[in-house]
Structure 1
Amino acid sequence: MLVKIYTMTHKKFDVPNDPMYVPLQVGAEGKEPLGYVRDNTGENISALNCYYSELTGVYWIWKNDTESDIVGVCHYRRYLLNEKGVMFRKEEIEKLLSEYDCLTSRLLTLDFSYHYGFSDNHNVRDLDVTGEVIREKYPEDYPLFEKLVHENHTYFGNICVMKKPLFDAYCAWLFDIFAEVRKRINIDSYDSYHKRVFGFVSEFLLYVWVTKHKLRAYECMVGMIGEKAETKEMKQRLADYFAEKDIVGAKQYFMEMYTKRPDVLMEASDITGDLRICMQIIATAERELATTGGSILDRSCTFEDYMHLFKTLNGIVRRYCVGRQTTKDKEMLAKLHLSEEAVYVSVLAFCKEKEKTAEILNQINMDI
């Protein structure tokens, strides 16, 4: 069987040493060639990449790959992994698709409904209009869409592998819906992040489509390879603010970036969790300045030292929150020399039973 897993990219990257993984330059229209297959050849929507993101590559595969028996989509930083945590090989893909209908990312369980989460980060009307179009064009699919959109599950990243006829059927459904949605919403006023509305909504629609057709989905781990350039830049800027003890500047910069890119705190972007730690440091320093006039940044640690310090604290706090703290944890708390404000912020972040927050805080502060 001919199996191709297309690796979506907009930049040069270390291509996997396996001919099954085919780099595909998305949004290639008007851009310098990277030396890979480009999504602006044949029948394509490459010029719409600012709205469709990696879906311009998905469209290209649908319309132009007429030879492959099995096709898949991954990203230059994200790959489906087998149970050993290793990228799939051709033989594994063939075997799995003899037993399952498709390979996908593991189903995400959100802390809120998909509709609520979308409204928090995007214009929820775009999602509602998508539902309206489904109701009109695919009325048999609408009840399930309406049910799932108010539940708390979704797939992630538009990452999947299927036999080509099934992939084509999915694309025909998806792009038919989006062609109509695009006529009904006004996204030209959005910033570059929010314009990628179809890339965002399609992650959820894959879940709807798989569920609707009762497909046997083999859900896989997604391996993250390296940080985004935007994440690295953000961490460096925050490190500079911390070195200058500029909490006001750090918070202002963080909020500006988060407004522009609400995905910066997602695991796919913040793969080390450092940006969440930065947010925690800012909150801690603000509380300390208000109570004592000084802050954790007076220690003049390196950025890496701050990350290690707060990750150690968070590990201890997590164990306290579930009643599994150890004598070593108590000893480590004393050595960290952290303020009650630092402990408070950490407990607030990791204690799932909010009614126990005060009790856990008292217990930790007694052990410091």
Structure 2
Amino acid sequence: MSVTVFTMTHKKFPTPGDPVYVPLQVGRAAHQDLGYIGDDTGVNISEKNCYYGELTGVYWVWKNIKTSDYVGICHYRRYFCTEEGRILTGAEYERILSEYDIITSKRLKLNYTYYEGYASDYNIRDLEAVGEVLQEMYPEYYQMFERLVHDKGTYFGNMMVCTKALYDEYCQWLFSVFEKAEEQIDASGYDDYHKRVYGFISEFLLYVWVQVRELKVYECKVGMTDEKRETAEIKEHLADFFVRKDITGAKEYILACLKKRPDVLMEASDITGELKLSMQVIAVCELEKEAYGSSTIDRIQEFGTLMEHFRKLNDLIIAFQNGETDTFSAPEVEFYLQNAGITDIALEASARLFCTLQEAREVVQTIRNYV
């Protein structure tokens, strides 16, 4: 069994030591040669990289690789890994693929339907156009598309590993859909981020395709080798706002960032969860300020301390939501709530992240009754 996992990249990076990983430069037709295999050789669509993202590499593997029994896709800082966070080895791929049809990312559990999420961040007409193409070309897939697009799950990163034969079947289906969809979608006027229409929609289409094919799926943890530069910069700016107790400025800044890069809150970008926690800090502090005249930010300004404060709060809420009250003793909870200065607003607003308004109020009441 030969397995080759192509590592999509647009920049130089430290490659994993295992030879199962082969760097593939995507979009090389329009960029400087990095010294890796490029997607601009053989049969290719490298010139479409601004619209297709890593899919130009996916296409290249489909059309040009003939010698591997199994092929796959990962990214230069995003890899399939063990639950402990170690990047999978070639031997581990072989073991998993001897039992499963395909390896994918773990399904993302969204707080909204895929349709709603796409509509809030992108041009929803593009997604609808793809649906119309499916209805025309592959009606059996359209039924699943319609069901899942109004559900709250998707894969991410276009990451997969499977037999080359199965990979080819997927690519033939995917690119035939996009070739037809190009007749309706005009992304030429979008900014550089939003231009990658096909790269975004394909993440969801892989989910649809796997479900229709009823494949035996190994949903694998995805690990990041480092944090995106954009994410680190956003956190640094938020830390400055928090030190100045400027919650309004922090809110305006993060909303502007989300408008430009709505993907920064996704698990693959916000690998520590600290951007989501920062949004929680902002929301709680705004509500506290309005109700009490002061807020958590008046007591805690250091970024790391704020993050730890809200992580502990969320751990408490999740434990009580799941009925795991034996995790904490009543004195421990009472001491924590008083010592950390946790307000009812902070409890309820934070609980709303994990459940409905009514459920949140019940969780808060359970916590209060517990002490």
| 2:319 is aligned with 1:306 | no
- Tell me if structure 2 keeps the 8 A contact 1:333–1:367: no
User: Matched residue of 2:162: which SS?
Assistant: strand
CA distance in 2, matches of 1:64, 1:164: 11
Q: Identify the residue that residue 235 of structure 1 maps to in structure 2.
A: 235
Kindly report which structure 2 residues correspond to 1:144-223, keeping only aligned pairs within 5 A, or say none.
Answer: 144-223=144-223
User: What one-letter code is carried by the residue in structure 2 that aligns with 1:41?
Assistant: T
- Tell me if structure 1 keeps the 8 A contact 2:174–2:202: yes
1:112, CA displacement in angstroms?
4.0
1:121, CA displacement in angstroms?
2.6
Between stretches 116-125 and 328-337, larger displacement belongs to 116-125
Ranges in structure 1 where 5+ consecutive residues have no aligned partner: none
CA distance in 2, matches of 1:142, 1:100: 25
- Tell me if structure 1 keeps the 8 A contact 2:121–2:262: yes
- Alpha-carbon spacing, 1:312–1:131, altered in 2? closer, same or farther (3 Å): same
Find 1:329's aligned residue among 324, 327, 333: 333
| 2:349 is aligned with 1:349 | no
TM-score (norm 2): 0.90
TM-score (norm 1): 0.91
- Tell me if structure 1 keeps the 8 A contact 2:105–2:156: yes
Q: Deviations over 1:1-22 (max 9, x none)?
A: 4321011122232211111101
Between stretches 211-220 and 328-337, larger displacement belongs to 211-220
Q: Identify the residue that residue 56 of structure 1 maps to in structure 2.
A: 56
User: Matched residue of 2:79: which SS?
Assistant: strand
Identity %: 49
User: What one-letter code is carried by the residue in structure 1 that aligns with 2:268?
Assistant: A
Residues paired across the two proteins, number: 367
Q: Which runs of 4+ in 1 moved over 4 A?
A: 82-85, 362-368
- Alpha-carbon spacing, 1:31–1:113, altered in 2? closer, same or farther (3 Å): same
Q: Identify the residue that residue 267 of structure 1 maps to in structure 2.
A: 267
CA distance in 2, matches of 1:367, 1:216: 44
Q: Identify the residue that residue 77 of structure 1 maps to in structure 2.
A: 77
Between stretches 118-127 and 138-147, larger displacement belongs to 138-147
CA distance in 2, matches of 1:149, 1:296: 38
- Alpha-carbon spacing, 1:162–1:260, altered in 2? closer, same or farther (3 Å): same
1:183, CA displacement in angstroms?
1.8
Kindly report which structure 2 residues correspond to 1:116-155, keeping only aligned pairs within 5 A, or say none.
Answer: 116-155=116-155
Q: CA RMSD in A?
A: 2.4
| 2:292 is aligned with 1:287 | no
CA distance in 2, matches of 1:62, 1:48: 16
- Alpha-carbon spacing, 1:139–1:289, altered in 2? closer, same or farther (3 Å): closer
1:165, CA displacement in angstroms?
2.1
CA distance in 1, matches of 2:291, 2:42: 64
1:83, CA displacement in angstroms?
6.0
Between stretches 114-123 and 264-273, larger displacement belongs to 114-123
Q: Identify the residue that residue 32 of structure 2 maps to in structure 1.
A: 32
CA distance in 1, matches of 2:38, 2:194: 24
User: Matched residue of 2:24: which SS?
Assistant: strand
User: Matched residue of 1:183: which SS?
Assistant: coil
- Alpha-carbon spacing, 1:91–1:313, altered in 2? closer, same or farther (3 Å): closer
- Alpha-carbon spacing, 1:109–1:304, altered in 2? closer, same or farther (3 Å): closer
User: What one-letter code is carried by the residue in structure 2 that aligns with 1:345?
Assistant: A
1:203, CA displacement in angstroms?
1.4
- Alpha-carbon spacing, 1:112–1:303, altered in 2? closer, same or farther (3 Å): closer
Q: Identify the residue that residue 361 of structure 1 maps to in structure 2.
A: 364
User: What one-letter code is carried by the residue in structure 2 that aligns with 1:143?
Assistant: Q
User: What one-letter code is carried by the residue in structure 1 that aligns with 2:357?
Assistant: K
- Tell me if structure 2 keeps the 8 A contact 1:340–1:365: no
- Alpha-carbon spacing, 1:40–1:336, altered in 2? closer, same or farther (3 Å): same
